[in-house]
Structure 1
């Protein structure tokens, strides 16, 4: 009988990745149990793990996911697709995480780049997408080579917005935990088990929402349950896990429906399909909040096995890391820079040694300026739409880039580890101006903001984007993470309205369509409708929810993405035929990206970066000689 289901649940686990990462036997069990739950709740389950397959690769995921999507879309609309992953993960910045596959250490693209996958799914037409990642979001030098992949190929389809739910066990820089086997008890993933409890209806009454007279677990109550219970359960094992769920469904919000009380319960004990052991469900009265109608996947009893001392040590260590990152960011932001160049724009460097500076257009000069300060003369110092990409060669052989915009001073601080911090200040602006914005940026990069503060901060940053132009790019990363394309387009439209070029990253994330002409990029930005504000902070700032007009072929600032996270949007960006050569140049740089929030490229990627920026250099024996070509 043909399968008529129109919801897909992809359950992936990698327990034995290469690269000296520890084995995680519990993730196999997690993927099997989630697939069993999905099959019992009217999803088409797709189970892929390295127990059933020799290895889990991008090619395998692409083939199997594309196949099941096609099976559904050939006969109906794809109502919902859930992507679940259990295994090792890494974070590279604000909401920029990747999941490690079997060969991640052999090939930099053998990892799932979550933000890129979210964007690529827009071309496949699902009405709803759920992303569940039972993985760490670790900051680690061992993942520095990882580029990641959007998994799916880009089809010849128009992108369509969808509703997005995201459920992760921890925030950037933190670890998720698998509980190791103990005696007869098998290893298991703590976040998965806490989530399965609520997905099976094993939860107090307050986590059910009444819709049309029936009781349901919804996006919002699922998020509430995770926030209320995961940290408590993790504490029983002496570890810290503070989830950051992001419920975004607003039409069909249901994950589990409690059968009506007059419905007879089955007399047969339920068994878990696809789990590592075919276990009969425990008696209904053995655990508090047990669903009176049984479970499709047996419950694990989570019990205390450790004291709280280790948890406290982990919390203090993570807190210190966050505050160190915040202090570093703020210190770099307050380095001395010029507030004026007679040419109307320029760039100032501080921190570690730099060697050469190349500009894609205009003329750079240092005459009568302090060391590492450069004025840039563009073709018309009265045109606020002009810009130039700058590529900087560092003392360690790596290169970074930044975009100089007319009427702004670009400030770059180079840290000893090679990463950079970039800010754009308006001409004549005091270093004291925008301190509140800089402080907020520091807290964002340090991972010190709560979920509600993130939405409010993005709204606040948009207010200051025309004075410190970098902040609009940072705000766009948050909107990208929740796939709020209307806010991305709204930001882009306000740059155009303010007679400023649109930073490239905003367009890449979904803020418009890119065109290429005469060595520069331009963007068409769709109009956005009036919407309801999502918080009191947004309500006080009507620019966050007011309608914007369509924008046609407006100049884009830069040919090089400003921040590392935007490189993951190259493959998924909406590009006109004229911009395809530009996309090809960008993809040649991608394998050579370095670490840090802003664009940094390793030594071997220097020439590819210069080509992308459109920079032609003349090598002369005098190493101090530099030519910037128009």
Structure 2
């Protein structure tokens, strides 16, 4: 699996463990339980024969991105295969996109820097790791009071010394995407405790008989730890009158990593963690002194959720009322519709084309002189530039409300528009609200991919869901079918699939490597054959010149070797991105790209 090791006379296998506890991420709430979690996790890892490091802000030294980078580089070996690496974090966090998670260091509010979990995960691909476990005890909610445009998302590590190889990935999260994690304040019998970290500690240490695998007797495996943590978190929820529901995804096969074995030396020396006394109160009430919710903002209530959903539905796409009704009146050559605020200018990537021709107050036609898609920028009167891609034989529908909220999707003029657009609205609403869950990646992505050729933005969303669990092969399967059906591969899919690309003077072309079939016996539920089948090597054009979703830009700043051709020409625009799910820019960023790609305005 690791070809770069073959020249060595001897290859040592090591197990690594890094735990990070951030308790003082001011002005957010103080989390002493994060220190408890980090210290106890390190104690377990030491006794389980891991090479360990601990990073906390308990002694006055802040947890910073540079400190984590230094400690990580010191921990990671230069000439050894890493059999297993466990990365644990306890502290404040948030989400910025579909399965895009951030951890906040101590100095986040002064340095305006957040740790990108997905970016760090990809950097670790270049360090010879066979099995990667990420344990995240942090919130995963949207941060209404944190301006994402002001926070730099840091992947922490530089490019690794080895060729990128995707490890088997296991992920354990305190809460599902969009949720909030909890900490219990201490009392006379227990220190402050982050609930999820303590549950994971119970399972990893083997003190609970129900944490052992029922097939691999006397072993704690990712699968048994997954089942245990979900059951145990439910017990804790009932005990402390909370709603705790972890989200885990585990790799295969079952025995790819063994966390601990029954009666293994050292396990018996680890004391079972003590819990604070549960509150003695009527059901449904909980004293504020007992529980801290490690949130960035209070959770949305039912009314606010309904308002957000309605806003996404009506303002992001504006189509149930407008597009479906007006579709009958669209000119037969219309392939771009802009709803909401009228644009002042539309820029196209086709340097030798005639640009766009207006067909009405909100209809345009974009020509395709060279390939089957075109990158466009839509300029509004306040200096906001919305990004979208127009595909041959599809209609691109973009909307921008009075606040600058942007959304877009595609539809086939000859297919059932209402079903297509409703599917888009539902997918984008789920994207915004955080209701996509990692344990549903296969089924959700399969549902989205059924519509991906009519609405390629759904294929782009699928690529981020697959990337979350390190499933690069499934991203490449999607790319194969775009080529197979003579449709340009969405930029996000080509980028997240680490495809080799080259510039042909007019756009990007990509080489899609062959992919072996997945073992269907390891797939939960029934999936279409094309989700698991083998695919051949193929090549095709790429749709767009940069990511359609903002979260894709996180990987542009420090690209891997396969991504350099994409990244070099667009990274200068990163400081001017706007905080939106879909890519949009301030004027300075748009002008950089307009100049680099010789884009032309239509009026």
On whether the aligned pair clears a TM of 0.5, the verdict is: yes
1:425 is aligned, of 401, 404, 411, to 411
Q: Which residue of 2 aligns with 1:81?
A: 85
CA change 1:555–1:330 in 2 (3 A) is: same
Kept after mapping to 2: 8 A contact 1:512/1:574 = no
Distance of aligned partners of 1:308 and 1:516 in 2 relative to their CA distance in 1, 3 Å threshold:
farther
Q: 1:503 to 1:309 in 2, by over 3 A?
A: same
Which of the numbers 299, 307, 317 marks the counterpart of 2:273?
299
2: distance between equivalents of 1:240 and 1:611? 51
The aligned counterpart of 2:20 is 12
2:424 aligned residue:
438
The correspondence for 2:108, drawn from 91, 104, 108, is 104
Q: Compare 431-440 and 508-517 and name the one that shifted more.
A: 431-440
1:114-153 superposed matches below 5 A: 114-141=117-144, 142-144=146-148, 145-153=150-158
Is this contact kept in 2: 1:208–1:216, CA < 8 A? yes
Q: TM-score, with normalisation over the residues of structure 1?
A: 0.83
Q: Quote the Cα distance in structure 1 between the aligned partners of 2:301 and 2:513.
A: 42
Q: Does 1:413 align with 2:388?
A: no
Q: Deviation of residue 417 (structure 1)?
A: 4.1
> 1:241 and 2:227 equivalent?
no
SS of structure 2 residue aligned to 1:106: helix
Residue in structure 2 matched with residue 360 of structure 1 by the alignment: 349
**Matched-pair contact (CA < 8 Å) for 1:236–1:308:** no
Aligned to 2:3: none
Q: 1:343 and 1:560 mapped to 2: Cα distance?
A: 29
Q: Which residue is equivalent to 1:36?
A: 43
Task: Note if 1:208 corresponds to 2:199.
Answer: no
Rounded Cα–Cα distance in structure 2 between residues aligned with 1:320 and 1:171:
21
Question: Judging changes above 3 Å, is the alpha-carbon distance between structure 1 residues 183 and 452 closer, same or farther for their aligned structure 2 residues?
Answer: closer
1:347 aligns with 2:336: yes
Q: In structure 1, what is the Cα distance between the partners aligned to 2:358 and 2:388?
A: 22
Asked if the contact 1:414–1:420 (Cα under 8 Å) also holds between the matched residues in 2, the reply is yes
Distance in 1 between residues matched to 2:558 and 2:526, nearest whole Å: 32
Whether the 8 Å contact between 1:340 and 1:427 is mirrored in structure 2 is no
Q: Give the equivalent residue in structure 1 for 2:466.
A: 479
Superposition map of 1:20-419 within 5 A: 20-52=27-59, 54-70=61-77, 73-74=78-79, 76-108=80-112, 110-141=113-144, 142-144=146-148, 145-155=150-160, 157-182=162-187, 185-205=190-210, 207-210=211-214, 214-250=217-253, 251-259=255-263, 294-305=268-279, 308-309=283-284, 317=300, 322-331=305-314, 332=317, 333-337=319-323, 338=327, 346-352=335-341, 354-361=343-350, 362-369=353-360, 371-379=361-369, 385-419=371-405
Distance 2:506 2:109 in 1: 36
Segment drifting more, 54-63 vs 433-442: 433-442
Measured on the aligned residues, the alpha-carbon RMSD in Å equals: 3.2
The answer (yes or no) to whether the contact 1:339–1:430 under 8 Å persists in 2 is: no
Distance 1:147 1:83 in 2: 21
CA distance in 1, matches of 2:271, 2:561: 45
Structure 2 distance, partners of 1:543, 1:473, is 17
SS in 1 for 2:259: strand
Contact 1:505 1:563 in 2 (8 A): yes
The TM-score normalised by the length of structure 2 is: 0.86
Deviations 1:321-360 (A, max 9, x none): 5554444444435353347977856321223464433222
Asked if 2 retains the 8 angstrom alpha-carbon contact of 1:339 and 1:427, the reply is no
Equivalenced residues, count:
572
Match in the other structure for 1:532: 519
CA drift of 1:611 comes to: 4.3
8 Å CA contact 1:346, 1:376 repeated in 2: yes
Contact 2:177–2:435 (Cα < 8 Å) also in 1:
no
| Residues 509 and 541, structure 2, Cα contact 8 Å, conserved in 1 | yes
The separation in 1 between residues aligned to 2:228 and 2:24, in whole angstroms, is: 31
Distance 1:164 1:372 in 2: 46
Contact residue 348 and residue 376 of structure 2 kept, 8 A: yes
Structure 1 spans left out of the alignment, 5+ residues: 264-269, 271-292, 618-625
Question: Equivalents in 1 of 2:401, 2:282: separation in Å?
Answer: 39
Could you tell me how far apart the structure 2 residues matched to 1:95 and 1:311 are?
30
Deviation at 1:316, TM superposition (A): 9.1
Distance 1:379 1:128, change over 3 A: same
Q: Is the 8 A contact 2:501 2:565 kept in 1?
A: no
Cα pair 2:12 2:81 within 8 Å, conserved = no
Query: Offset of 1:408 from its aligned partner?
Result: 1.4
In structure 2, what is the equivalent of residue 591 of structure 1? 575
Q: Which SS does the other structure have where 2:107 is aligned?
A: coil
The Cα of 1:32 is off from its aligned counterpart by 1.3
1:63 Cα deviation from its structure 2 partner:
2.1
Distance 1:134 1:495, change over 3 A: same
Answer whether contact 1:503 1:558 (CA < 8 A) is retained: yes
Matched position secondary structure for 2:126: coil
Deviation at 1:422, TM superposition (A): 1.4
What is residue 532 of structure 2 aligned with on the other side?
545
Q: Equivalents in 1 of 2:120, 2:381: separation in Å? A: 35
Q: Which residue of 1 aligns with 2:550?
A: 564
Q: In 2 relative to 1, CA 450–150 (structure 1 residues): closer, same or farther, beyond 3 Å?
A: closer
* Distance of 2:46 and 2:182 partners within structure 1: 26
CA distance, structure 2, for counterparts of residue 475 and residue 321 of structure 1: 27
- 1:219 CA drift (Å): 0.6
CA change 1:523–1:24 in 2 (3 A) is same
